[in-house]
Structure 1
Amino acid sequence: MINTSTESIIRTTSFNQPSSKQKRLPILLSILFGIIAGLFLIVVIILAILFGHEKNKTIRYSTTPVEIPVNGTNDLCLSPYCIKAANYFLDSIDESVDPCENFYQFSCGNWIKNAKIPEDANSHNTFEIMQLEVNNDIIDLLSSPVSNETIEPNAIGNARRLFSSCINEEAIEEEGIDVILSFINTELGGWPILQGSTWDSSTFDLTNLLTKLGQYNVFTLYYVGTYPDEKNSSSYCIYMGQGSLGLSDRSYYINETGITQAYRQYMKNIALALTNDTSIIDNDINDIFEFEKTISQYFWTPAEQYDQIQDRTNFSNLSSTMNTTFNFTDYLQRIYRFGNVSLIDTDIVTLTELAMLRNVSMIIDQQSSRTIQNYLIWRFMMNMIESMPKKFRNIKQEFKKIYDGITSQKPRSIKCATFVTRNMGLAVSKLYIGKHFDKTAHKESTEMIQYIRSIFTDMINQSIWMDSISKNVAIEKIRVMSQRIGYPDGLDSDNITDLEKIYEEYNFNSSYIQNVFTIIRLAAKHKFQILREPINRKAWTYLNPTDVNANYRPWFNDITLTAAILRSPFFNKDAPKYLNYGGIGMVIGHEFTHGFDSIGRQFDKDGNRIPWWTNETINAFNEQKKCVIEQYNNYTVAQIDMKINGEQTQDENIADNGGLKEAFLAYEKWAQTNPNIDKKLPGLAKYSAEQMFFLNFGKIWCSKSKDQSEKNDLLINVHSPGEFRVIGSISNLVEFDRVFGCKPGQGNSRINKCLVW
């Protein structure tokens, strides 16, 4: 992926993980401003060209003047899009910096100087800005009245009802938390921290509790899911591995810090908001934290999860494989029965982080039932707080101020649009693409894919570390790699049968908390019942069309470009091709390359994780990637004085490097076939088309983050920070050196290039 969007068990490669950061403008004012600005531009351009007597005249679209030479305008693109794009760059570039010394500062210096991180965010970047625009569009679509002549699918009607119940703050306050507390007491065995000494430990049943939580998609200790079998991608199998931690990464538990103090205070404040009996709250909280601290040392980090050897067994052999007192066989039987699936002896179970599963089970044996019950209900409450009245959300916000530096909550409408989209993505996407997707993007991105596929094939052929056998099978894999562009086939048609079938059980009313329980229960049920269903390679999984993202699915050997990422600055039908190739072209190359990174290269053309390269080529690949790992290990994020983990980020770095090279060479090939078509941007005429390719790539990664956000990302994100996604990639390209006249060893140009692809 171009950004992170993964679950702990199965790994897809994603381009980015956006979130929304800015406040929305009223749509009518936006439209009016656009019209006035457009008319103003036309008038100014005409006056500048017809009446200017000086050497240069300027037009202003934003804060930066765009120079329009009176003579020789034939090679300039003066369309409204190009003028807007020119200002986009001129507001960002810092020309006091030599691009050969620090291309990131050259591309982003002025943007970084002027950009402000919104109070409801911990960072600010292109993806977040784009996702905010999409979310605002979704808000308008879900809240706008439906005309009497329109007959909408039931799925969309229910998406509207879910959104309406989510934004109805008055009803949420009135309903309170009785539904949640009743569920905890009647279904989960109660929360001891609220019941004090009256909690009855004799009723504790760990297997039953974990099963109930799993039915509501809560997997704290052990994660269970159904995914394509990595050894046989034509069928599903069971995956089980580590759950999650309240503080995300085990490093947070090593020493007492402001974050650990805030975390315990978070627990206490939630408990105090629910009970007047404070006699043993402090003791319970201390036990909860110490238990989580103890198990945290066995949780694998993202870096440790690379190239781990997965344990694969039959269901009949699970007990002997696990060798624990906790009955994992009984647990899986119960949880899959919720999806109306009866497990059989021959069902395949893939175990990840097996040592963690065993160690945590051993620790549980040594803990009191009260502590385990308290901890698991606390983690359930953490998941539910966004569905609770405002005072509970405010308590969470106090913790987030310390944990990730976010000082205020996002608007409720943004949160609700995100929630509905995450849970009813295709229903929302049908509305979105009908109004906001330009189908030109499908045709042009398909053409770009073919150019980039051809270039990557050439790169494989020219590789000096692969033998001929491995080259041939790698070329065949890239040849058959398929693509999903924009949205699923048929989503834009009048035939709604498939959409209605997907959401036939999704029926909502005015009670938000009841709707939340319904939707997470349905999501969990689907996760288990698909075990017996046939694989649908065309199904959209892990990404929604409204996510500003892209990904590669190794078990299906395909790439996905969402409708939401096929927009400026990644793509625009009116943009010069050098901008599109520097934007979405690099994304396409990035996802292609994931098929041949440390993980992707283990899957053959059919998506099966089997040896398909020779041992000599595998060993050579591992030698090549060492250079990339060491390169990024030596980058330090100056803002917090922490180094990047090159092991953890290796695949995304390999994909960035390969994707940028593929996109650049593909643009050159396109330009040779289509000479003299691309025109220059006003005010930027001194830059060549090839330089503008790199400038768009650099500008996309302009980013500002708060200190704690940077630290969290370095601990758990498999992507490098934006600055090093730019510098790391261009430093290995001789093509960049040629285009900007850089000398190897100068600034951000490496002498010894790290070349995997």
Structure 2
Amino acid sequence: MIKTINIPDDLTTSIMPIVHSDRRSSPRTQCIGLFWIFLGVVVGFSFIGSMAFAVVYGIEQNRRMNNQTITVDGNSDLCLTRYCVKAASSLIGSIDETVDPCENFYEFVCGTQLKNTKISNDANSQDIFVTLETRLQDAIIGREYVNHAFPLIVLLFADLLTLSTSNNTNIPKAVLNAQRLFASCVNETAIMADSVNVLLSFVNTELGGWPILQGPMWDDATFNFSQLLLKLAEYSSDVIYIAGTEIDEMNSSVQAIRIGQSDLGLLDRSYYVNESDVTKAYRQFIQNFALALATDRSMINNDVNDIFNFEKTIATYHWTLNEQIVRHTETIHSTIGNLSSAINTTFDFVRHLRRLYLLANVSLVDTDVVIASELDYLRNVSLIVDQQSPRVLQNYMVWRFMMSRAWIIPRRFRTIKQQFDQVFLGTTVEQVRAMKCARYVNYNMGFAVSKLYIDKYFDKDARIESIVMIDNIRNQFIDIINQSTWMNSISKSRAIDKARAINAKVGYPAYLDDNNNTKLEKNYAEYNFNSSFARNVLLMLKLNAKKNLQVLRQLLDREEWIGYTPTIVNAFYNPSFNDISFPAGILQTPFFYKDAPKYLNYGAIGTIIGHEITHGFDNFGGLYDKDGNKILWWDNETLSAFNQRKTCIIDQYNNYTVTQIDLPVNGEQTQGENIADNGGLKAAFAAYQKWTHIHRNLDKKLPGLTKYSVEQMFFLNYGQIWCSKMTDQYVRNLVLHDVHSPSQFRILGSTSNFPEFDRVFGCQPGQGNSRVNKCTVW
């Protein structure tokens, strides 16, 4: 994945889909960007289109320009299409020519843009992904919901999720329900009327109540830890432990059961070590939320402290992301029949799993495979749970459920959450409701949304050129394998076979391009929504948990899109399927435009394609063979040479410091993405060079940028897609809990290792942006 997916509060999968490269969870997908899951913390997207490409000599001028090349005479070397003018404006508005590209290419390519960019109050970052996600959401929610106070937004799309006043019988039921879900989410009046009562009724009748609200009246004799854990899991709320279905890494043709640690309210255990503004804000969040709901406030202060102290205790044993990466060999494969002896926990996971899967009418047998990770967490926390009072456990587990539901109730409660978000994320106001709702519907009913999007806005011919680019870059990566000096012939042959076997999914699954909506309707058959958003959310939680459990007995379809939808700005590599995916959402400008000069396309989407291909051969993807099975397919000599080369990458990035917050980059934690960034840049540039060799002098230059060669323009566009401005809080969470390096080091790290960058810009090894001892894996 190239960019962190910011998951809405109620992303509803029973086991959270972790899509970065090294998290041992489901589904196993590698991507080009950041991914840390915020339960109850939504990362807002900015409405302010401050990226220069959104303003191209005036929006009205652009609308009047046609899309044909304008030439002064028959020998013009300039590309003056609307797209080329827009791309030129973007780059000119980003580059800081007072900086030497050989000293700091990030500051050179992004400096002016960073100086002129302001992070919106409802966001914690501003970059090209934010802008494109906003553009997609504009398409999804329609013009009537867009905040016109921000005139720089390019309103390209109309109302996909707005319920039509006409009785269009041709609209699939799945789409109608997606529209109903959206309508209920933006209806503040209806939310005000019933959401609190619906939520509290659910807590009291299904979860056994929330003691913090009831004071001494709560009866601990009714407490049943196993039953509460089961009920929360039934509603896609994994607290303390996770349990669910994923592909068996040892046999990618079948599904397996996964158990492991759940997440923490503050994500990373480092937050709990010392008292800080974040821990104070977190406790205040719990307290204020409870005060707003309570009928008896007599025990709230004590309960808040107990909730936090319990979470602080289990955080002691919670594995950090880096530990999950370096200790992946401690994950065990067992079966239901042998699980109890294999993990040796006081909590009866076998009984829990049998009861959990029965909720979806799936009866487990002794031979069902179970993958267990974070074993010492499971053992230690099971002992801690045994020693806790019913009140503390009930309070904590219901709090974690409520924390993620704060956004579905009236604004006064969301304001309480926003006060916490301001400290934890750096966002000062709540994200515009329509945008938040669009993201929620898109993540939960993304294929219904995509059906509308691709029919109305996606250039389907773009798929053809994208596939050609994928083949070209794949061929260059195969050449890189062939030219490697550290692999023996057997390992080279196997690596080439794997590269050739990579399946590419481009744009959207084929069934969405068909007038027959049978599959779409089947997938969402039980998704029937009404005007009550709180009820709709609870139904969504339950349905998606059920779906995750049911797939244990279903045949795997390698053409399925698992864990992501076409209407997302990202790209993915799935080692279990050995496939790469490029959703329709990323196949738009400035990443890709079918009539753009090829140096722009290869510098943007091309490097992303190369990145995803390289993921199949990084420290994690390289553990899987061409069929997606986790087996050792490299010989020991080659594996040893690979480890030496990846150590160079680890050491290089360990030496980078994020000066904004004075924290070092974790080279071990980010190694897979750094390997992919370096390999992807190299493969894409080689593919562009081959294209220019065949199509000599075909690429025209951009107005105002004629002094730069086409090869330099390749690197300029590569650099620009990673320009990013972030709040201190966002950067801190990124460094602690993400497998991707901060943006500036994605640019600096890969270009400083690439001799072709030195040649193109005339850099000498030893300058700031050119390493003397370059790190090369691929």
Question: In which range does the TM-score fall when normalised by the shorter chain?
Answer: over 0.9
Deviation, 1:22, is 2.8
Quick check: 1:22 aligned with 2:46? yes
What's the counterpart of residue 29 of structure 2? Answer: 12
* 1:97 pairs with one of 92, 99, 115: 99
* 1:599 pairs with one of 605, 616, 620: 620
CA distance in 1, matches of 2:59, 2:104: 38
What's the counterpart of residue 561 of structure 1? Answer: 582
CA distance in 2, matches of 1:350, 1:756: 30
CA distance in 2, matches of 1:406, 1:73: 51
Is the Cα–Cα contact under 8 Å of residues 44 and 124 in structure 2 kept in the other structure? no
Deviation, 1:493, is 1.4
For the residue of structure 1 that corresponds to 2:750, the secondary structure is helix
For the residue of structure 2 that corresponds to 1:241, the secondary structure is strand
CA distance in 2, matches of 1:600, 1:670: 28
Quick check: 1:394 aligned with 2:415? yes
What's the counterpart of residue 622 of structure 1? Answer: 643
Deviation, 1:276, is 3.9
What's the counterpart of residue 80 of structure 1? Answer: 82
CA distance in 1, matches of 2:268, 2:167: 52
| Counterparts in 2 of 1:709 and 1:229: CA distance versus 1, 3 Å | same
Is the Cα–Cα contact under 8 Å of residues 603 and 609 in structure 1 kept in the other structure? yes
Identity value in percent: 55
* 1:187 pairs with one of 182, 203, 206: 206
Deviation, 1:180, is 1.1
Deviation, 1:33, is 11
| Counterparts in 2 of 1:40 and 1:188: CA distance versus 1, 3 Å | closer
CA distance in 2, matches of 1:245, 1:281: 21
Deviation, 1:405, is 0.8
Is the Cα–Cα contact under 8 Å of residues 76 and 679 in structure 1 kept in the other structure? yes
| Counterparts in 2 of 1:101 and 1:331: CA distance versus 1, 3 Å | same
What's the counterpart of residue 3 of structure 1? Answer: 3
Deviation, 1:20, is 5.4
What's the counterpart of residue 129 of structure 2? Answer: 127
* 2:116 pairs with one of 100, 103, 114: 114
CA distance in 1, matches of 2:711, 2:515: 43
CA distance in 2, matches of 1:454, 1:271: 59
For the residue of structure 2 that corresponds to 1:538, the secondary structure is coil
Quick check: 1:306 aligned with 2:286? no
CA distance in 2, matches of 1:142, 1:133: 14
Quick check: 1:145 aligned with 2:164? yes
Quick check: 1:462 aligned with 2:504? no
What's the counterpart of residue 231 of structure 1? Answer: 250
| 615-624 or 33-42, larger mean C-alpha shift | 33-42
For the residue of structure 1 that corresponds to 2:586, the secondary structure is coil
* 1:644 pairs with one of 657, 660, 665: 665
Is the Cα–Cα contact under 8 Å of residues 20 and 132 in structure 1 kept in the other structure? no
| Counterparts in 2 of 1:4 and 1:33: CA distance versus 1, 3 Å | closer
| Counterparts in 2 of 1:24 and 1:695: CA distance versus 1, 3 Å | closer
| Counterparts in 2 of 1:743 and 1:412: CA distance versus 1, 3 Å | same
Quick check: 1:475 aligned with 2:477? no
Quick check: 1:671 aligned with 2:673? no
Deviation, 1:17, is 5.1
| Counterparts in 2 of 1:31 and 1:128: CA distance versus 1, 3 Å | closer
Deviation, 1:468, is 1.0
Provide the aligned C-alpha RMSD in A. Answer: 1.9
Is the Cα–Cα contact under 8 Å of residues 12 and 554 in structure 1 kept in the other structure? yes
Instruction: Give deviations 1:13-41, integer Å, cap 9, x for gaps.
Output: 1123596523389xxxx999988313766
Deviation, 1:193, is 0.9
CA distance in 2, matches of 1:547, 1:120: 20
What's the counterpart of residue 629 of structure 2? Answer: 608
Instruction: Give deviations 1:547-595, integer Å, cap 9, x for gaps.
Output: 1000000000000001010011110112100000000000000000000
Is the Cα–Cα contact under 8 Å of residues 86 and 682 in structure 1 kept in the other structure? yes
Deviation, 1:150, is 5.5
| 187-196 or 234-243, larger mean C-alpha shift | 187-196
Is the Cα–Cα contact under 8 Å of residues 226 and 239 in structure 1 kept in the other structure? yes
Is the Cα–Cα contact under 8 Å of residues 34 and 738 in structure 2 kept in the other structure? no
Alignment of 1:494-509 (within 5 A): 494-509=515-530
| 5-14 or 393-402, larger mean C-alpha shift | 5-14
Instruction: Give deviations 1:343-401, integer Å, cap 9, x for gaps.
Output: 00000000011111111101111111111111000000011111111111110001111
Q: Letter of the aligned partner of 2:723 in structure 1?
A: C
Alignment of 1:122-521 (within 5 A): 122-140=124-142, 141-143=160-162, 145=164, 147-148=166-167, 151-307=170-326, 308-309=328-329, 310-521=331-542
Instruction: Give deviations 1:639-659, integer Å, cap 9, x for gaps.
Output: 111110001111000000000
Instruction: Give deviations 1:298-351, integer Å, cap 9, x for gaps.
Output: 111111111412111110111112222211111101111111100000000000
Is the Cα–Cα contact under 8 Å of residues 215 and 521 in structure 1 kept in the other structure? yes
Is the Cα–Cα contact under 8 Å of residues 17 and 549 in structure 1 kept in the other structure? no
For the residue of structure 1 that corresponds to 2:257, the secondary structure is strand
Q: Letter of the aligned partner of 2:364 in structure 1?
A: L
CA distance in 2, matches of 1:639, 1:134: 30
What's the counterpart of residue 538 of structure 1? Answer: 559
For the residue of structure 1 that corresponds to 2:322, the secondary structure is coil
For the residue of structure 2 that corresponds to 1:605, the secondary structure is coil
Q: Letter of the aligned partner of 1:232 in structure 2?
A: N
Instruction: Give deviations 1:30-61, integer Å, cap 9, x for gaps.
Output: 99998831376689x98xx87xxxxxxxxxxx
Deviation, 1:96, is 0.8
Is the Cα–Cα contact under 8 Å of residues 405 and 706 in structure 1 kept in the other structure? yes
Gap regions ≥5 residues in structure 1: 51-70
Is the Cα–Cα contact under 8 Å of residues 341 and 529 in structure 1 kept in the other structure? yes
Is the Cα–Cα contact under 8 Å of residues 20 and 135 in structure 1 kept in the other structure? no
For the residue of structure 1 that corresponds to 2:427, the secondary structure is coil
| 31-40 or 154-163, larger mean C-alpha shift | 31-40
| Counterparts in 2 of 1:359 and 1:32: CA distance versus 1, 3 Å | closer
CA distance in 2, matches of 1:228, 1:448: 29
Quick check: 1:722 aligned with 2:743? yes
Is the Cα–Cα contact under 8 Å of residues 24 and 136 in structure 1 kept in the other structure? no
Is the Cα–Cα contact under 8 Å of residues 77 and 680 in structure 1 kept in the other structure? yes
Q: Letter of the aligned partner of 1:2 in structure 2?
A: I
Deviation, 1:148, is 4.5
For the residue of structure 2 that corresponds to 1:151, the secondary structure is coil
Quick check: 1:525 aligned with 2:549? no
| 538-547 or 654-663, larger mean C-alpha shift | 538-547
Deviation, 1:414, is 0.3
CA distance in 2, matches of 1:566, 1:32: 20
Alignment of 1:680-695 (within 5 A): 680-695=701-716
| Counterparts in 2 of 1:234 and 1:121: CA distance versus 1, 3 Å | same
Q: Letter of the aligned partner of 1:104 in structure 2?
A: Y
CA distance in 2, matches of 1:38, 1:320: 68
* 1:699 pairs with one of 712, 720, 724: 720
| Structure 2 length-normalised TM | 0.92
Is the Cα–Cα contact under 8 Å of residues 254 and 556 in structure 2 kept in the other structure? yes
CA distance in 2, matches of 1:150, 1:442: 30
Quick check: 1:38 aligned with 2:62? yes
CA distance in 2, matches of 1:130, 1:230: 33
For the residue of structure 2 that corresponds to 1:129, the secondary structure is helix
* 2:597 pairs with one of 546, 555, 576: 576
| 170-179 or 527-536, larger mean C-alpha shift | 170-179
For the residue of structure 2 that corresponds to 1:339, the secondary structure is coil
Is the Cα–Cα contact under 8 Å of residues 140 and 438 in structure 2 kept in the other structure? yes
* 1:655 pairs with one of 673, 676, 680: 676
Instruction: Give deviations 1:82-113, integer Å, cap 9, x for gaps.
Output: 11111111001011111101100110010001
CA distance in 1, matches of 2:467, 2:615: 18
CA distance in 2, matches of 1:720, 1:526: 34
CA distance in 2, matches of 1:176, 1:552: 39
| Structure 1 length-normalised TM | 0.94
| 216-225 or 143-152, larger mean C-alpha shift | 143-152
For the residue of structure 2 that corresponds to 1:273, the secondary structure is helix
